[in-house]
């Protein structure tokens, strides 16, 4: 039975949309597979890791009838990538195997039964649907995702706090050493929501969302249940579990009245930090920042007694301050916000957190804890 007949580009696009969540190592072998379900001319592709599930569907030529199987997602994608974009490929089924043929190339892949594929059980208590422009959500995720924790025992930090109320949408991420806050104003009112989205879900949304501001006719539709989130966009349905637990009170972390501040060109600041980072110690990645009127000095050293120093002229008339930072935290924010030409840096003293803001993004705030060097 011919399950699919289409161009390489069309089949590959559908597979890549769902395969991002497929892990390389599995407790269940079937989780390395993508579920392919054919109903008439509609073909659904589904991937899952038991906590996140993505499904997309489309119309494809092929034989009439219904069919379902699972096949290795990575292998199928690798095979398709090896063919040219305009190559017409056919995927057919015979005796527990899938055969993919394109031109004179032929590949036979092992399958596992579709009944073995563990679909995510959707929650029965989803709330009302609300929608947000894709470009807005993608932009907010881009401003905070790098501050998420990775495999922290405080599991509620391994994700992003999502708060929606009225016309305000706020995303916050922190790993305990730095915090990123982004806010956008929406055109329509949305119901009060406060959930923590898991790290994997956040990164997958960032990959899949479109940032074309001209195409706001296709927003992302969002629904939350007590322990699940459901996103619908670009012909995809994305179901994810939520992170349980209480997110820290971020308002207490963001400084309000730092008296010392200066503005600095982002590209210049980033280049200086990247150069001084070369001679930081592998483990601590610390740099010393000295501020005095008109001058910013950044210095680093390592266990081999090697040193680097950068001096930048700035418009600053505040106190003399010497403070240490993990240089990675500063490079992260400058790299991820590279489209912003100027950063404003606010400091109180050598022991207080620094606040980085953007003149053109009123809702963006980035807090970095100092480190002892």
pLDDT of residue 217 exceeding 80 = no
pLDDT of residue 169 exceeding 60 = yes
User: Which of 195, 188, 202 has its CA nearest to residue 224?
Assistant: 195
- For residues 89 and 103, the answer to whether their CB atoms sit within 8 Å is no
Domains in the chain, start-ordered, CATH in brackets? 2-116 (3.10.150.10), 130-251 (3.10.150.10), 254-368 (3.10.150.10)
Bridge partners, residue 66, by sequence: 39
What pLDDT sits at residue 187? 85
For residue range 194-208, what is the model confidence (pLDDT) as tens digits? 999 999 999 999 999
pLDDT > 70: percent of the chain: 99
What pLDDT sits at residue 282? 86
What pLDDT sits at residue 24? 78
The stretch 152-157 carries a mean pLDDT of: 94
Quote the pTM value.
Answer: 0.93
246: Cβ contacts below 8 Å, ≥ 6 apart = 156
């Amino acid at each position: 039975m011919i399950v699919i007949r289409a161009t390489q580009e069309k089949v590959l696009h559908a597979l890549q949309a769902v395969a991002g969540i497929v892990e390389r190592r599995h407790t269940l072998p079937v989780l390395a597979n993508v579920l392919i379900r054919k109903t008439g001319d509609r073909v659904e592709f589904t991937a899952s890791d038991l906590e996140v599930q993505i499904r997309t569907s489309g119309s494809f030529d092929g034989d009439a009838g219904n069919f379902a199987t699972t096949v290795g997602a990575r292998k199928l994608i690798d095979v398709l990538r090896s063919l040219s974009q305009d190559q017409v490929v056919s995927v057919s089924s015979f005796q527990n195997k899938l055969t993919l043929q394109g031109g004179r190339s032929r590949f036979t892949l092992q399958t596992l039964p579709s009944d073995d594929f563990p679909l995510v059980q959707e929650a029965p208590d989803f709330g009302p649907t609300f929608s947000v422009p894709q470009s807005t959500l993608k932009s907010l995720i881009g401003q905070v995702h790098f501050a998420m924790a990775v495999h922290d025992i405080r599991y509620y930090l391994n994700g992003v706090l999502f708060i929606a109320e009225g016309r305000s949408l706020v995303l916050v991420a922190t790993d305990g050493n730095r915090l990123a806050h982004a806010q956008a104003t929406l055109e329509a009112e949305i119901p009060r929501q406060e959930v923590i989205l898991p790290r994997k879900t956040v990164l997958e949304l960032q990959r899949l969302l479109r940032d074309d501001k001209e195409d706001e006719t296709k927003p992302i539709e969002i629904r939350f249940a007590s322990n699940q989130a459901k996103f619908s966009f670009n012909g995809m349905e994305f179901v994810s579990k939520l992170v349980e637990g209480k997110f820290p009170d971020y308002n207490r972390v963001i400084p309000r009245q730092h008296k010392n501040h200066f503005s600095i060109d982002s590209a210049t600041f980033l280049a200086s930090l990247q150069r001084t980072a070369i001679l930081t110690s592998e483990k601590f990645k610390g740099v010393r920042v000295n501020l005095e009127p008109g001058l910013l000095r950044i210095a680093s050293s390592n266990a081999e007694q090697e040193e680097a120093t950068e001096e930048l002229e700035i418009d600053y008339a505040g106190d003399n301050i010497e403070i240490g930072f993990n240089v990675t935290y500063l490079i992260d924010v400058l790299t991820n916000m590279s489209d912003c030409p100027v950063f404003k840096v606010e400091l109180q003293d050598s022991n207080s957190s620094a606040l980085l803001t953007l003149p053109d993004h009123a809702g963006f705030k980035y807090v970095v804890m100092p480190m002892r060097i």
